[in-house]
Amino acid sequence: MAVSLRQIRAFLAVAEHGAFTRAAERLKVAQPALSALVRELEREVGLRLFDRTTRRVELTEGGREFRAAAETIVRDLDAAVRDAADRGKRRRGRVVVAAPPMLAAAALPAAILDMADRHPGLEVAVVDVGVEAILEALRAGRADCGVGTFLDGEGLERRRLTRDRLMLFSAAGSAFARRASLAWADLAGAPIIALTRESGLRRLVDFGFESARMALAPRYEVAQIATALALVEAGLGVAPLPAYAMAAATHRAVAATALVAPTIGRDISLIRLAGRSASPAMSAFEASLRRALRSLAPVIARGAAS
């Protein structure tokens, strides 16, 4: 069966107006062409749809039943076209973004507010989990994109957003806090608060100490950056952490000092499954996220320039 949308629209116009002439005028087609479309439709469905008289065209019983179904088809199709057009014009859509908790807290609120201001019909859902869970959520279809610092992953497309760097967080007013910058060698003998070895950040801290020819023996090991910051504020040690942690430390009595010799940085990227086109909502979210990261904290920009 090869029923076309043109045939269905022609049928509905005739059913509405009760005459081929008025229906043809409404559809802006010639009456013979309209009549031909209706005859073709009747042949395809194997049913007479209209009783034709000299004065009026009336629906048959089968035609009345078919009209109800045809109106549903056209209404649903029109709604689908409008929905697709709205999504293409960024008036509707949804993005699920997965990010590590600290980065999610630092960057996503500003990105979501920016997107809501520019595209009120678009929605963002947040999944705040660790890096491995981000990759799992992407591959399982539970997230559209991931944001964070990632090693190369098979089947993933990476888009660099900004560059972060490691800084030393210390209690406000401490000797470390008064320094303009610190070499890793300057941390010799300091009580270090480090993230556990399950964190990708720990590998970077290990590299910093190895570069200074020092062994890392943390005073405290914690799983979350927020916990490390609380310990730093209490004066229990100092912590090499990413610059974006400043966004979570604005209400804490802590200071961040640039770590150099060597300067250790890492890219913050947006990842998604390779080979898939970005939706208009995804593209809008990426633009908002870039703006949020640029304005997140001047210290990140300074780190990227080092």
Each residue's pLDDT tens digit, 8-19: 889 899 888 888
Share of the chain above pLDDT 70, in %: 92
CATH 3.40.190.10 fits domain 93-161+266-296: yes
* Confidence bin at 21 (pLDDT 50/70/90): confident
| CATH of the domain spanning 164-265 | 3.40.190.290
Confirm whether 5-88 and 164-265 share one CATH topology: no
List, as own/partner pairs, every contact residues 81-88 make where C-beta atoms lie below 8 angstroms and the sequence separation is at least 24, other chains included. Answer: 86/121, 87/279, 87/280, 87/281, 88/280
> Is residue 92 pLDDT above 70, yes or no?
no
Q: Residue ranges of the domains in the chain?
A: 5-88, 93-161+266-296, 164-265
Question: Residue 95: what pLDDT?
Answer: 92
Each residue's pLDDT tens digit, 187-210: 999 999 999 998 888 999 999 999
Which CATH fold would you assign to the domain 5-88?
Arc Repressor Mutant, subunit A (1.10.10)
Question: Residue 78: what pLDDT?
Answer: 77
Mean pLDDT value of segment 159-176: 93
Question: Residue 121: what pLDDT?
Answer: 87
Please give the model's pTM, rounded to 2 decimal places.
Answer: 0.66
